[in-house]
Structure 1
């Protein structure tokens, strides 16, 4: 690995100095001069004696990712993740970010009514791809991380592709993993944290440990976590087998994660190597699909759901000591990443196609890439400029395959097995290329507090399908589809006025786009005599045009945010199901198509106040309205309005919060399936730092105190249009408990 670092060091420096290629990752390395200024101490014998701690709250925060450098962004710090006992993406939506949702069926984050492939997810500046297996349901993958390994989560709201590129239609989910300086306190050369917890909503027990050590100008970090749990509880009370079951199906899962970082601090910046691993394997006893007299009998139908992500990255970070430097800041990262999603079933058929039956469906995205950004400040007369520019490029391959077994001599063509096609790919392998470049200039007009930020981004992508034996052998093979290549320019203009440090008024116009997913273009799953799902190689990229007006007020003690937005989308990609007039596919045809016009508007607001007596209050509200402008049809991914209100009390050593979370009823969207009604639930949480044990924090919580039966619209049948079980089967957890212990060293 050392040889690799040496090989790329000159390349990274050249890119940074001459082409200003760099992409945001995490914290900047601090020089000796900055450490002396921050700590008031002089280093003796070492160039780096104390690493400056990262400022992670309030307006003093040094933005760790250019994507999150926006007035529409908000941050959840590692401390807030611990305090709120956040272990899943959906936990954000009932605590710090009411406008954020997660669909457990599609595996996608939802922001401002858009989800899945319309929300960009990054970790340390590297995109985590969203996998869409349109035929076999091995989809998702963006939640392939452990919250215990994170230093912060930024939520960027709004359709602004100027820095994010494709997928940032609804916003961005920006993750930053731990750095050595997050654990090493000033004046020390090592630090660590150990966490252990119990989560009652899936009866899981797990923990994590992280340690960082600095030796001279080198720092190393190790972090690892393991959790063993079961099914996510609901509030159903009818067990047994068949379609009458309302309890959640029994499940077991193992989650493992690991993170390694090494940082070398030099006079010309910080060089680093990162290795990351995440794996979660889950097995489900699908009792609701079994019955004593059915095709699948009790104990003979299990499902699997697995996700694994690995990455290795080399990064470079720079922050100038002098205003005379060629660049003020620069970041660069070169990476390799592999994301794999698998799901499957295993069972025995008793009545139809009698015999053993199993499937293992996989979707994989392997990529290498480079990202970089840099910034430079300068004056022209009374105008102060801060120019930020960057480039990112990646090369990837997407692969889909289904392996399986049926008790048929020829499962593709035998009449009784015409729907059981397997051991095939339902789409070709696809090689992808992507290039994006952006530049924006924040222009401040003297000391007026007024600024304008024009921005421009260029994106180009190219998809090249490759024929494989597994694709040619598929039951519905009709030849290799054509590739697709396109480009887009996405401009923006933001106006901001800051009459004083703790008040910001802003207005923004921005355009954005999303390239079609390879599955939307190329899936071909079906068989004559049954049904078929077609991709559409002629899909056009989605584009958006939106405006937003808002304000950020106050500080950590008293403040808030209000934002209203309106977005129009062209060529919005969706699916339709129709009958086949030729009779070739009597069970119907599902196809992807472009909706001509979709519009969404909404409002988001939050406020908080901390009193001198230790009391604090806060509240948040998110509302989105989204429809097809031509037909008036609701867009399924739009969740009902949601709000949360908290009142709490905190001292130096303990604190408690009572939170009320409420949502309105879901509008009717698709047929007669279950629509999520409105609800209101209460959560009570608390923490204690016993003085005799330095660094120990005990946290606990009672969630859904009154055991309310309620539904999350993104996880109810109204989203997919199908309901096979009684309503309670789709409910969220009832009353549950969480307990965590955190020990810092």
Structure 2
């Protein structure tokens, strides 16, 4: 276990900033008392707390989750976010990716403060994921963009985008104050974790500083099984321990002329150790207590943001936004122990995938009046220069060279790279014009985006050690134009109708192009240097209705995809690889369509109700078997909630239900439908200003159920653990205490 000791540092930072802020707070108090000395008074510039949504999230396809909702729903993971608040969003724990409308991995773009977090996949050794390398407590909001908005998001946003926005000083500093802070403690029985987080911000004149840090310690996510056996039939989760740390610092400089500059540093790491009891047995190759796994992720970034809001009509642009950044994301997966029967001796493996990148992104916006029409012109772009590396290290008792094609050591190839280092360059440019037709409430937005990418493999000593090495593969470069057309109509004050057609584009990842994993006498997993980029045509029609007290939204969508990238078995028999060959290929045609509904009502007496329904159907149009339904598309899901709230306390009950996976799905495991109930509540004692206590009981009736996205690749006929090993947690509870200053 990689133990971290950040709690003391976190409390020290909070105490330090409190002391630093105290003089500024005194200045503010002095300003309100004319009897005090006036030469110590500092007049603080008023800072706007919230600005209209810009960039990728400025679209009717987006839905916002605020920091207040994150706190109220006790959200600490993507799984929590999609449970009832965003039911069309799922998180696949097996490959560490967000799933939106049946698409996941590199087909969903994730950004934090405008910086893309790449999805990492080593293709062979389970070092996948990385996009969850942040703490929900550091966020001011999460915007979920469902469907492609090609002109804004660009390469990788076929399924949509997850737009993460971290805390700003103004999120903590209230009006007429020079400092503010928040402290939070939480416990979750689902993984027996406890966490603490603190954030504090202070400002003097036009300069603001923010520090935020968090620490979390826990164990394995529980299943609803009760068999603690080793090996076959086990249904409890493998025991695990993890530590998670995050740290965020911002220095923000405001100006009187509308220009704002923010320097940000961020660090996140999570280290998890697992006792792999499902792979252990008394007489097996791995014995009880001597076979462990690790699962680590780390992300660092430094960025400089620029924002501009025009303060007069003479400005060249109405607003602008830009960011330049450096980011390093690493994902590790490994195993360590002793082998007792096959290749006897100490054994360890560690697979590391890393992406280092430097890049920038930005846009400008200008409104122009032209007779009966008004134009809002937006132009922007982004670029990334990065390097992706993969390496597998380890030790075992094998000879340097296997003795024959069926030597067990052929399965243990290590101290090598399964793909070359890959240098990548990406560039995207877009232009759109939102044309408003007078005072009719109707607007039309045509847009066009251009994307270009270049992947250049680099020969390394680690890659030439690969037993399949046969020279360097060629690089790949391609580009695409992605047009869109969005129509909006403000039919009434609280009724907005919209329709959009957009094309989208995704370039192949380094792993999809250049993976080369296996050895003669065993099997082979190959990338494909000839892959074509994925493209899509996406159609959306919908409406946003109502205000804060009564309303909802409805959206229908139909998407077609070409050159869909998938991994398939290569037909025929190759004696050099008797266990078969798989390779990434382009599927010709895939389609996904569906509907999303949501609504809510708040009554004057304190009661409120809400509900949502998501349905999608995905099909491989080139399938040659009857199982042509895409297993990556979640089944029909509905959420129905009711609650009551006063000024100081409130409670909610929520029913979450899902339909069974269709029998024609290509998923290996087709779980039945389910219904579960959650009960939550909160209390703000009047005697303690700023204090909130929240608690919840989840899956109140201890239902055994399965998440279709997490289990779609599970084959129960060959699985060593029992069925309930793959179940979701039974009855659990959370409790949290939040103090705002």
| Smaller-chain TM-score bracket | over 0.9
The superposition leaves residues 690-732 of structure 1 with CA deviations (integer Å, 9 ceiling, x where unpaired) of 0000000000000000000000011115468973321100000
Give the counterpart of 2:125 among 132, 136, 142: 136
Q: Residue 52 of structure 1: CA displacement?
A: 2.5
The superposition leaves residues 495-519 of structure 1 with CA deviations (integer Å, 9 ceiling, x where unpaired) of 1110222110111110001101110
Correspondence for 2:397 = 407
Correspondence for 1:156 = 145
Tell me the distance in 2 between the aligned counterparts of 1:53 and 1:434: 34
Alignment of 1:392 with 2:382, yes or no, is yes
Correspondence for 2:617 = 625
1:98-177 → structure 2 map (5 Å cutoff):
98-177=87-166
Correspondence for 1:657 = 652
Tell me the distance in 2 between the aligned counterparts of 1:512 and 1:664: 30
Q: Residue 668 of structure 1: CA displacement?
A: 3.6
Correspondence for 1:615 = 607
Residue 521 of structure 1 aligns to a residue whose secondary structure is helix
The answer as to whether partners of 1:411 and 1:421 remain within 8 angstroms in 2 is: no
Correspondence for 1:355 = 345
The answer as to whether partners of 1:52 and 1:186 remain within 8 angstroms in 2 is: no
Residue 206 of structure 1 aligns to a residue whose secondary structure is strand
Correspondence for 2:429 = 437
Correspondence for 2:596 = 604
Give the counterpart of 2:362 among 372, 375, 378: 372
**Stretch deviating more after TM superposition (678-687 or 266-275):** 266-275
Correspondence for 1:319 = 309
Tell me the distance in 2 between the aligned counterparts of 1:51 and 1:174: 23
The answer as to whether partners of 1:636 and 1:719 remain within 8 angstroms in 2 is: no
The answer as to whether partners of 1:412 and 1:421 remain within 8 angstroms in 2 is: no
Tell me the distance in 2 between the aligned counterparts of 1:411 and 1:259: 48
Correspondence for 1:513 = 505
TM-score, with structure 2 as normaliser: 0.92
The answer as to whether partners of 1:674 and 1:727 remain within 8 angstroms in 2 is: no
Residue 537 of structure 1 aligns to a residue whose secondary structure is coil
Residue 530 of structure 1 aligns to a residue whose secondary structure is coil
Q: Residue 151 of structure 1: CA displacement?
A: 0.3
The answer as to whether partners of 1:411 and 1:418 remain within 8 angstroms in 2 is: no
Alignment of 1:737 with 2:738, yes or no, is no
The answer as to whether partners of 1:412 and 1:475 remain within 8 angstroms in 2 is: no
Correspondence for 1:283 = 273
Give the counterpart of 1:478 among 466, 470, 474: 470
Alignment of 1:692 with 2:692, yes or no, is no
The superposition leaves residues 11-33 of structure 1 with CA deviations (integer Å, 9 ceiling, x where unpaired) of xxxxxxxxxxxxxxxxxxxxxxx
The superposition leaves residues 528-570 of structure 1 with CA deviations (integer Å, 9 ceiling, x where unpaired) of 1000000000000000012111000001110100000101100
Q: Residue 583 of structure 1: CA displacement?
A: 1.2
Structure 1: give runs of 5+ residues left out of the alignment.
1-42, 55-60
Correspondence for 1:18 = none
Tell me the distance in 1 between the aligned counterparts of 2:403 and 2:380: 53
Residue 636 of structure 1 aligns to a residue whose secondary structure is coil
Correspondence for 1:307 = 297
Q: Residue 48 of structure 1: CA displacement?
A: 4.1
Alignment of 1:501 with 2:496, yes or no, is no
The answer as to whether partners of 2:88 and 2:101 remain within 8 angstroms in 1 is: yes
Alignment of 1:212 with 2:201, yes or no, is yes
1:635-714 → structure 2 map (5 Å cutoff):
635-668=630-663, 673-714=668-709
Q: 1:349 to 1:251 in 2, by over 3 A?
A: same
Correspondence for 1:533 = 525
Give the counterpart of 2:451 among 440, 456, 459: 459
Tell me the distance in 1 between the aligned counterparts of 2:601 and 2:705: 29
Q: Residue 412 of structure 1: CA displacement?
A: 5.1
The superposition leaves residues 468-487 of structure 1 with CA deviations (integer Å, 9 ceiling, x where unpaired) of 00000112112111100000
Correspondence for 1:36 = none
The superposition leaves residues 214-262 of structure 1 with CA deviations (integer Å, 9 ceiling, x where unpaired) of 0111100000000000000010011120111000000000000000000
Q: Residue 579 of structure 1: CA displacement?
A: 5.6
Correspondence for 1:3 = none
Structure 2: give runs of 5+ residues left out of the alignment.
1-37
Correspondence for 1:29 = none
Q: Residue 629 of structure 1: CA displacement?
A: 1.4
Q: Residue 272 of structure 1: CA displacement?
A: 1.3
Correspondence for 1:562 = 554
Alignment of 1:235 with 2:244, yes or no, is no
The answer as to whether partners of 2:574 and 2:580 remain within 8 angstroms in 1 is: no
Correspondence for 1:20 = none
Residue 80 of structure 2 aligns to a residue whose secondary structure is helix
Q: Residue 635 of structure 1: CA displacement?
A: 1.8
**Stretch deviating more after TM superposition (405-414 or 544-553):** 405-414
The answer as to whether partners of 1:249 and 1:286 remain within 8 angstroms in 2 is: yes
Q: Residue 413 of structure 1: CA displacement?
A: 5.6
Tell me the distance in 1 between the aligned counterparts of 2:371 and 2:554: 34
Tell me the distance in 1 between the aligned counterparts of 2:150 and 2:128: 24
Q: Residue 47 of structure 1: CA displacement?
A: 6.7
Q: Residue 741 of structure 1: CA displacement?
A: 0.2
Tell me the distance in 1 between the aligned counterparts of 2:304 and 2:714: 40
Q: Residue 94 of structure 1: CA displacement?
A: 1.1
Q: 1:346 to 1:188 in 2, by over 3 A?
A: same
The answer as to whether partners of 2:224 and 2:729 remain within 8 angstroms in 1 is: yes
Q: Residue 520 of structure 1: CA displacement?
A: 0.4
Correspondence for 1:6 = none
Tell me the distance in 2 between the aligned counterparts of 1:47 and 1:336: 36
Give the counterpart of 1:96 among 85, 89, 93: 85
Residue 728 of structure 1 aligns to a residue whose secondary structure is helix
Q: Residue 670 of structure 1: CA displacement?
A: 6.8
Residue 164 of structure 1 aligns to a residue whose secondary structure is coil
Q: Please provide the CA RMSD for this pair.
A: 1.5
The answer as to whether partners of 2:141 and 2:164 remain within 8 angstroms in 1 is: yes
Q: Residue 672 of structure 1: CA displacement?
A: 8.6
Tell me the distance in 2 between the aligned counterparts of 1:599 and 1:727: 31
Tell me the distance in 1 between the aligned counterparts of 2:666 and 2:57: 39
TM-score, with structure 1 as normaliser: 0.92
Q: 1:384 to 1:672 in 2, by over 3 A?
A: closer
Q: Residue 671 of structure 1: CA displacement?
A: 7.1
Q: Residue 46 of structure 1: CA displacement?
A: 5.5
Tell me the distance in 2 between the aligned counterparts of 1:52 and 1:694: 24
Tell me the distance in 2 between the aligned counterparts of 1:639 and 1:490: 27
Q: 1:719 to 1:384 in 2, by over 3 A?
A: farther
Give the counterpart of 1:71 among 55, 60, 70: 60
The superposition leaves residues 570-622 of structure 1 with CA deviations (integer Å, 9 ceiling, x where unpaired) of 00000112465231101111100000000110000100000000000001111
Q: Residue 669 of structure 1: CA displacement?
A: 5.8
Tell me the distance in 2 between the aligned counterparts of 1:264 and 1:482: 46
Alignment of 1:572 with 2:564, yes or no, is yes
Residue 470 of structure 1 aligns to a residue whose secondary structure is helix
Alignment of 1:252 with 2:205, yes or no, is no
Tell me the distance in 2 between the aligned counterparts of 1:671 and 1:62: 42
